Structure 1
Amino acid sequence: MQRPNIIFIVADDLGHADLGCYGGRDAAFGPVSPVLDGLAAKGIQFTQGYANSPVCSPTRFAMITARYQYRLRGAAEEPIRSGNRDSTTLGMPPDHPTLPSLLRAQGYRTALIGKWHLGYPPAFGPLRSGYDEFFGPMSGGVDYFTHCDSRGTHDLWAGEEDTQEEGYLTDLFSQRAVDYVERMAEAQETDNAPFFLSLHYTAPHWPWETREDAGRAPQVKDNLFDLAGGNIHIYRRMIHHMDEGIGWIMTALEKHGLADNTLVVFTSDNGGERFSDNWPLVGGKMDLTEGGIRVPWIAHWPAVIQPGGVTAQHCLTMDWSATMLDAAGVAPDPAYPLDGVSLMPTLRDATHTFARPMHWRMNHRGQRALRDGDWKYLQVDGNEYLFNIPADERERANQAHREPDRLAAMRDAWAAWNATMPAIPPDATVSLGYSAKDMPQR
């Protein structure tokens, strides 16, 4: 079979149950996510899928490398934001193999449209880590209309040049993605080269603004971190705008006959925030409870994936990067062996599952977690917990005292894994990579 095109769509701070196909309720205007719900119905939906971290940048390090983020200094929970523009340590090292660089070396065209958040030029940047093209912000949250970050600095780039574009950011990303698909379809008529598109939305990350807010958005510094701003209705409309844009992209793929052999994957970088629906999970962004790390995973690839698949296969963000390399027939760099595990067997057959222990650590509140089978070991603020997740998704019935042997075994397993990871650098910022003023509180 011809190598597939690949589109990797990542939402920002989306809650586990925000989409209709994950139990989300309709909004006043109707279904919130009809396009994504349709992709899930025509493809496969993972009910036990996770992000590599409950915060943004660390997950993105894992996503681009297919390796545990803890292996890289820039992912040591340090703040990568506008004030770090001159840093030569906080970012994705250009000499490290990445998902786009490995694909590009084997003939794929590559592009990132949307959020980067892995360091600033000249030391770092998408064009230095395997992408042929880039359009989007380098930092985390930016205003949807002014495209400025929290310091009031304009943060919308085309390649490594500042670009002034008018429009609602979510729509700009979607329109650029449609244009990219159109151009790639035309190019494939000549050389048949496949493409890899990373489409990293900032939606529904704050500031909470909808398309209809054009012309009446407040000044960025008052708006970007407005702790009293937003509401559930605006939040759900932002998800709907993203969903609409994904529909435009699917229409472009179908128009050019590319939909059948294009692997489209959708997820979120971490769990949801203030207005997210995580039911029945507890916690959210910044937490290693289920609400901070369990995220939607949807894959659509008609040439390979049978419609209507639902699986409880466990997976992490980096597993999907490994899956994309596998789907493309691209081998990893032997000097940088992958921590991610390919999910291709499950994509081919939704009933196929396999054991997948998953580990996390967070400096914030001394959090650590291990999910292995039905069981989860969790430590927060020095307190230990043991949960049977299928029986207790809300993590309310601590089994630590009833299952002391299991607790000890999982504690030891986490410690053995942690010993294989680099220690946090002594000069690293070991508090959370966001200060209280930078993040709205739940």
Structure 2
Amino acid sequence: MTVRPRSARRPNVVFIVADDLGHADLGCYGGRPADFGPVSPTLDRMAANGIRFTQGYANSPVCSPTRFALMTARYQYRLRGAAEEPIRNNSRGSTTLGLPADQPTIASLLRDAGYRTALVGKWHLGLPPHFGPLRSGYEHFYGPMSGGVDYFSHCSGNGVHDLWDGDEEVHHEGYLTDLLSDRAVVTVREFASGDAPFLLSLHYTAPHWPWETRDDAGRALVVRDNLFDLAGGNIHTYRRMIHHMDEGIGRVLGALADAGVLDDTLVVFTSDNGGERFSDNWPLVGGKMDLTEGGIRVPWIAQWPALIGPGRVSAQHCLTMDWSATLLDAAGVAAAPEHPLDGVSLLDVLAGGPEFERPMHWRMNHRGQRALRHGRWKYLQVDGHEYLFDIDADERERANRAPLEPERLARMRDHWQRWNDSMPPIPADATVSLGYSVKDMPQR
């Protein structure tokens, strides 16, 4: 039986997504202080006031596929656009590489149920004229349409300016993280002044490359034509970028409190995939583009005073699409009958109910990767090599149990294969767009 909120009001939802944030980058996940002090004091307080998940995962180790799952509460593999790893910035005009306008999304389902909806931040689910946030359930949109953009010039990797207000391109001066935080605060104030509940999707580009802090405006012209920024950045810049985002989140929470709606608002924070060059994933190995733990295990923090007690920590296994299913459940909104959800609601867990078994599956075109997490065990295949790890005992994935437990390996391989057979095959023309060489990534 589902445990319902103590408040009769349908909750507002603020769903915050960082970009390429490592599992241990935040203080509440064991991250070390920076030279200026705590990196994430707002998010640390949010975890203390709500619940922090230690075994939460992203639907993919790369941005676009995870965002498809977030928007649809379904495995991303069901949609052609999500086969790209990720969607390229030069895909304008494509009729296939994006989130179809007729696909139900959390935004469209909530909008049709009476919610106000806005996306502030990164979209990266296909470019106009065929795709865009306003075509997928959002009433308002402010941010970049593509993947990584420079924080000051707001240009994408192919040198095209990419900052939009609705369907109109806009040129606003300022550090992108701050511009997104500013708009999010304005949106909260506008929405909270009305009677309808609201969904605010706040999708930061931080701490995605290029490595620029609020004080690095002079670097914008240097990195404009090389956004991958392989010769730039350092851990100090990276941590400051996270801190700028954390400050903005603090302002959004403050706006909710000032409007008197904080208690009735479910605020969720996560990352779209594991960390990249300067991130801290300890004790996990790997990172973005990998189905090792460092590429897919991410922070999950939720605060909702009307339902979630303070100071809670959960080992519940969950994926991005489970949180999408959760917010629909909390709002009392059903899935579209022709698009049943793959995500599993966590509402009972948030309310203090028991944890439950949750098998999780992944596949990647890149290096032929496949993975299954079931209970304490993980099946992994990379470049044709199979691995079996006891994650509870060895979350660093160093002790391959496959040669010692062939029967368990066979069962998990078969489990993954049966799931894979239920999904559309990876299209032959699907591409991998790393933007950097795997050999450039640190080996953890």
TM bucket (normalised to shorter chain) is over 0.9
* Structure 1 residue aligned with 2:198: 195
Q: Deviations over 1:263-295 (max 9, x none)?
A: 000000000000000000000000000000000
1:3 has 2:10 as partner: yes
CA contact (8 A) 1:152 1:220 kept: no
Residue in 2 that maps onto 1:312: 315
Question: Which segments of 5 or more consecutive residues in structure 1 lack a partner in the other structure?
Answer: none
Structure 1 residue corresponding to 2:374, chosen from 372, 375, 384: 372
The corresponding residue for 2:35 is 28
Q: Does 1:174 align with 2:181?
A: yes
Q: Which residue of 2 aligns with 1:358?
A: 360
Say which of 400, 411, 414 aligns to 1:412.
Answer: 414
How much does 1:403 deviate? 1.1
* Alpha-carbon shift at residue 93 of structure 1 (Å): 0.3
- 1:283-311 deviation digits (Å, cap 9, x = unpaired): 00000000000000000000000001100
TM-score, with length taken from structure 1: 0.96
State the distance in 2 between where 1:221 and 1:253 align. Answer: 36
Q: Given the alignment, which residue of 83, 102, 106 partners 2:90? A: 83
Q: Which amino acid aligns with 1:424?
A: I
Amino acid at match of 1:4: P
Write the distance in 1 (CA, Å) between the matches of 2:222 and 2:92.
Answer: 22
Q: Tell me the CA shift for residue 152 of structure 1.
A: 1.1
| Cα distance between partner residues in 2 of 1:151 and 1:101 | 31
Residues 397-430 of structure 1 show CA distances to partners (whole Å, capped at 9, x for unaligned) of 011111111100000000000000001223x22x
Identity of aligned residues (%): 73
The residue that corresponds to 2:130 in the other structure is 123
Which aligned segments of 4 or more residues in structure 1 are displaced greater than 6 angstroms?
437-440
Instruction: Give the Cα–Cα distance (whole angstroms) in 1 for the partners of residues 56 and 219 of structure 2.
Output: 38
Q: Distance in 1 between matches of 2:225 and 2:145?
A: 21
- Distance in 2 (alpha carbons) for counterparts of 1:198 and 1:216: 29
> Where do 1:249-288 residues align within 5 Å?
249-288=252-291
Partner in structure 2 of residue 236 of structure 1: 239
CA–CA distance in 1 between the matches of 2:221 and 2:440? 17
Aligned to 1:325: 328
> Structure 1 residue 132 and structure 2 residue 134: aligned?
no
Contact 1:323 1:344 in 2 (8 A): yes
The 3-state SS of whatever aligns with 2:13 is: strand
Change (3 A) 1:244 1:435: closer
Which amino acid letter does the alignment assign opposite residue 88 of structure 1?
T
Q: Deviation at 1:221?
A: 3.2
Indicate the residue corresponding to 2:3 in structure 1: none
User: What's 2:69 paired with?
Assistant: 62
Quick one: which of 141, 154, 157 aligns to 1:150?
157
Whether the 8 Å contact between 2:62 and 2:86 is mirrored in structure 1 is no
Number of the residue aligned with 2:109: 102
Q: 2:20 aligns with which of 4, 10, 13?
A: 13
- The CA RMSD over aligned residues, in Å, is 1.3
Q: For structure 1, which segment, 394-403 or 292-301, has the greater mean C-alpha deviation from structure 2 after superposition?
A: 394-403
Give the 3-state SS of the residue equivalent to 1:57 in structure 2. Answer: helix
Read off the aligned partner of 2:175 and give its amino acid letter: Y
**Within the alignment, does 1:433 sit opposite 2:433 as a pair?**
yes
- Whether the 8 Å contact between 2:153 and 2:224 is mirrored in structure 1 is no
How far has the Cα of 1:440 moved from its partner? 6.3
Q: Which residue is equivalent to 1:397?
A: 399
**Contact (CA 8 Å) 1:7, 1:196: kept in 2 or not?**
yes
Query: What displacement does 1:246 show?
Result: 0.3
- For the Cα contact (< 8 Å) 1:78–1:90, is it kept in 2? no
The 8 Å contact of residues 6 and 324 in structure 1, kept in 2 or not, is answered as yes
Mapped to 1, the partners of 2:221 and 2:211 lie a distance apart of: 11
Could you tell me whether the CA contact under 8 Å between 1:91 and 1:124 is conserved in 2? yes
Q: Which amino acid aligns with 1:410?
A: M
CA distance in 1, matches of 2:381, 2:189: 48
Counterpart code for 1:433: S
Letter in 1 for 2:190: R
The separation in 1 between residues aligned to 2:36 and 2:435, in whole angstroms, is 36
TM-score, length basis structure 2: 0.96
Per-residue CA deviation, residues 356-387 of structure 1 (Å, 9 max, x unaligned), is 00000001111000000000000011111000
Q: Distance in 1 between matches of 2:68 and 2:254?
A: 31
State the match for 2:5 in structure 1: none
Following TM superposition, by how much is the alpha carbon of 1:213 offset from its aligned partner in structure 2, in angstroms? 1.1
Give how far 1:197 is off: 0.4
CA contact (8 A) 1:226 1:440 kept: no
Rounded to whole Å, the distance in 2 between the matches of 1:173 and 1:410 is: 43
Quickly say closer, same or farther: Cα 1:222–1:425, change in 2 above 3 A: closer
Alpha-carbon distance between aligned partners in 1 of 2:86 and 2:311, rounded to the nearest angstrom = 40
- Paired position in structure 1 for 2:298: 295
Cα 1:438–1:277, aligned 2, differ >3 Å: closer, same or farther? closer
Closer, same or farther: CA 355–438 of 1 in aligned 2, 3 Å: closer
Moved more, 397-406 or 13-22: 397-406
- What is the aligned partner in structure 2 of residue 225 from structure 1? 228
Shift of 1:224: 1.1
Q: Secondary structure at the match of 1:326?
A: helix
Paired residue total: 435
- Distance (whole Å) between structure 1 residues aligned to residue 167 and residue 375 of structure 2: 44
Please give the per-residue CA displacement for 1:324-372, whole angstroms capped at 9, x wherever unaligned: 00000000001000000000010000x6100000000001111000000
Summarize the Cα distance change of 1:229–1:222 in structure 2 as closer, same or farther, 3 Å threshold. farther
Partner secondary structure for residue 83 of structure 1: coil
State the Cα deviation string for residues 131-183 of structure 1 (Å, max 9, x = none): 00000000000000000001111000011110010100000000100000111
Using the TM superposition, give the Cα deviation of residue 438 of structure 1 relative to its aligned residue in structure 2, in angstroms: 11
User: Unaligned regions of 5+ residues in structure 2, if any?
Assistant: 1-7
